[in-house]
């Protein structure tokens, strides 16, 4: 519990932190009696905490770039992407949000692969706009006119992959006709397919079998305490 004002919450937060300056602050939505992690005010608290932590010379952390949505939908995308951009621009060192849904209570593999693309876009944003052999400009334009095609120009070939980020299969950039021909897949369907591809390529851990068995036993015991008969990965 903390004062209702954002400043009051930040003061209390500062008094409670020790090594890694961060945490999971949130506002309280009195309508639903919930603590929305995707609220803009929650994001503001995370970003302000980062400013305070850096002023104190501490590494910063925050539960941001996540969503209160219950499934991979538009709400999940808008809350996650807005949080990721704000976190990056605020310089938060450790971001504990990608893949999360439902007030931090659910980790979705499908959302995680989408969030990976959001993170990629965010990193590209942080890279900014840099000159790449762009000055003097006249020789470059002369080269483009001489080549007659932007895509085969030497300047394009040298800098295309550095300048333009290309997302993975989760993001649809095809035209409508191609999208129809390829099955009219939704974002959720593309994400599920990508999860399947990654799991198929998974290389098992090199931990000894007895260590793996003990970890599984401990997790199963905790799962039973909370009413689960099997771990999610073991369910058919």
The residue with tokens 């305070």 is: 52
Distance CA 118, CA 187 (A): 13
Contacts of 159 (CB under 8 A, 6+ apart): 132, 133
Give yes or no for residue 2 having a pLDDT over 70.
yes
95 pLDDT higher than 80: yes
From residue 145, alpha-carbon distances to 2, 17, 61, 148 in Å are 64, 60, 50, 5
| More confident position, 78 or 230 | 78
Give the rounded distance of the alpha carbon of 207 from its chain centre: 28
SS3 helix, strand, coil % of the chain, rounded to 5?
Answer: 55, 5, 40
- Gap between the Cα atoms of 108 and 116, Å rounded: 12
Q: What pTM did the predictor assign?
A: 0.84
Q: How many CA atoms lie within 13 A of 236 on its CB side?
A: 0
SS3 236: coil
Q: Is the pLDDT of residue 164 over 50?
A: yes
Beta strand residue intervals within 67-216, DSSP E: 94-95, 100-101, 106-107
Residue ranges of the domains in the chain? 1-128, 130-167
Confidence of residue 19 (pLDDT cuts 50, 70, 90): confident
Helices and strands of the chain, counted as H and E runs: 9, 4
pLDDT digits (tens, 9 = 90+) for 38-70: 999 999 999 999 999 999 999 999 999 999 999
Burial of 213 (0-12, 13-18, 19+ CB in 10 A): exposed
Could you tell me the maximum CA-CA distance found in the chain, to the nearest angstrom?
Answer: 72
Predicted confidence (pLDDT) at residue 18 exceeds the cutoff of 90: no
pLDDT at 147: 81
Length of the chain: 236
Rg (CA), the chain: 23
pLDDT at residue 235 in the model: 44
174: three-class secondary structure by DSSP:
coil
Task: Compute CA 48 distance to the chain's CA centroid, rounded to the nearest angstrom.
Answer: 19
- Report how far residue 168's alpha carbon sits from residue 195's, in angstroms, rounded to the nearest whole number: 12
Q: Are 167 and 173 in contact (CB under 8 A)?
A: yes
What is the share, in percent, of the chain residues with pLDDT greater than 70?
A: 98
Secondary structure letter of residue 100 according to DSSP: E
């Amino acid at each position: 519990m903390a004062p209702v004002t954002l400043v009051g919450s930040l003061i209390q937060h500062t008094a409670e932190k020790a090594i890694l300056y961060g945490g999971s602050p949130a506002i309280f939505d009195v309508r639903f009696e919930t603590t929305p992690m995707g609220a803009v005010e929650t994001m503001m608290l995370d970003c302000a905490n980062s400013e305070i932590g850096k002023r104190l010379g501490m590494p910063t952390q925050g539960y941001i770039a996540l969503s209160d949505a219950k499934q991979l939908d538009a709400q999940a995308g808008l809350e996650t992407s807005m949080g990721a951009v704000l976190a990056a621009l605020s310089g938060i060192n450790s971001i504990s949000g990608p893949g999360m849904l439902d007030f931090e209570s659910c980790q979705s593999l499908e959302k995680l692969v989408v969030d990976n693309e959001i993170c990629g876009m965010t990193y590209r944003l942080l890279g900014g706009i840099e000159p790449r052999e762009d000055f003097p400009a006249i020789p470059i334009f002369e080269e483009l006119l001489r080549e007659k095609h932007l895509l085969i120009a030497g300047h394009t070939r040298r800098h295309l992959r550095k300048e333009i980020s290309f997302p993975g299969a989760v993001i649809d950039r095809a035209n409508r006709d191609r999208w129809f021909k390829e099955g009219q897949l939704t974002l959720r369907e593309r994400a599920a397919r990508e999860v399947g591809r990654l799991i198929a390529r998974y290389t098992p851990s090199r931990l000894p079998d007895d260590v793996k068995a003990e970890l599984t036993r401990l997790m199963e015991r905790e799962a039973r305490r909370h009413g689960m008969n099997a771990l999610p990965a073991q369910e058919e």
